[in-house]
Amino acid sequence: MAVAAAHIREALDAVAGLAGQPTIDACNIYTGRHDNSRSLSHQIQSIIGGPTAKAFSTNFASIYAQVGDQRVAPNNLYAADDAARQYAEQLSIDAGFAPLYIGPLDPGARLLEDGAGLTRALAAQLGPFFYRYAPTREF
Ligand SMILES: NC(=O)c1ccc[n+]([C@@H]2O[C@H](COP(=O)([O-])OP(=O)(O)OC[C@H]3O[C@@H](n4cnc5c(N)ncnc54)[C@H](OP(=O)(O)O)[C@@H]3O)[C@@H](O)[C@H]2O)c1
């Protein structure tokens, strides 16, 4: 799911056959929230009803083509229901990223969404960027 946050409802209403499907949500929000859901991912899950992950929201689509050129696989932070983890992991790996689980959808999805300002601030300094977190022994 990757549309502007304000268009989530109408975009999903236009698609049939989604009920209960696993969902990966990449949406960010930069304006006030007009939905009472705990996160955009929860809003989407309330419509589709399947296991849900939030992934790719802290990565830049404009540099996807360069993922394979990096010295190590960049991370893709994600939060997910247990039943959605396999999908977020596999899609991340297929896209060349090293998926990094930050915890369950609640509160992980909201944490990722609330971190969008930091991602933007970094992008203002670096341009679109990759990132990688590592335990001390790996640096
Ligand atoms: N771009 C990034 O690097 C990036 C990174 C992380 C997260 N995100 C998040 O991903 C989401 C999409 O961003 P984007 O950059 O991909 O935006 P985008 O290039 O403007 O694409 C938006 C897509 O949503 C579709 N759409 C818009 N209104 C719709 C509706 N009412 N029903 C069905 N489809 C609709 C558009 O379809 P049409 O082309 O047919 O209009 C288009 O394919 C946003 O929430 C953004 O914050 C983006």
CATH number of domain containing 125: 3.40.50.720
Task: State the pLDDT confidence band at 34, using cuts at 50, 70 and 90.
Answer: confident
Given a cut of 90, is residue 22 above it in pLDDT? Answer: yes
The radius of gyration of the chain's CA atoms, rounded to the nearest angstrom, is 15
What is the structure's pLDDT at 139?
82
How many domains, the chain? 1
CA of 129 from ligand 1 middle (Å) equals 19
Does residue 35 surpass a pLDDT of 90?
no
Q: Is the pLDDT of residue 68 over 90?
A: yes
Among 14-18, 22-26, 28-32, 99-103, the least confident range: 28-32
Query: Cα separation of 137 and 1, whole Å?
Result: 35
Tokens representing residue 78 in the block: 């994600």
* Percentage of the chain modeled with pLDDT above 70: 100
Share of the chain above pLDDT 90, in %: 95
Sheet holding 23-25, edge to edge: 23-25, 52-55, 75-80, 98-103
Q: Which segments of the chain are extended strands (E)?
A: 23-25, 52-55, 75-80, 98-103
- Site to probe by mutation for ligand 1, drawn from 3, 29, 62, 114 as the one with most ligand atoms within 8 Å of Cβ, is 3
Is pLDDT of 138 > 90? no
23 alpha carbon – ligand 1 mean position (Å): 16
Mean residue pLDDT of the chain comes to: 97
**Taking each helix axis from N to C terminus, what angle separates 116-126 and 105-114, rounded to the nearest 10 degrees?**
40
Distance 139 CA to ligand 1 centre (A): 35
Q: What is the mean pLDDT of residues 51-68?
A: 98
Find out whether 3 and 27 touch, Cβ atoms under 8 Å: yes
Mean pLDDT along residues 70-79: 97
Q: Could you list the residue range(s) of the whole structural domain that residue 46 is in?
A: 5-138
Ligand 1 cavity residues, CB under 6 Å: 2-5, 7, 10-11, 14, 26-28, 56-57, 60-62
Tell me the two tokens of residue 124. Answer: 């203002």
Which atom of ligand 1 is nearest the CA belonging to 10?
A: 31
Residue 123's pLDDT band (cuts 50, 70, 90): very high
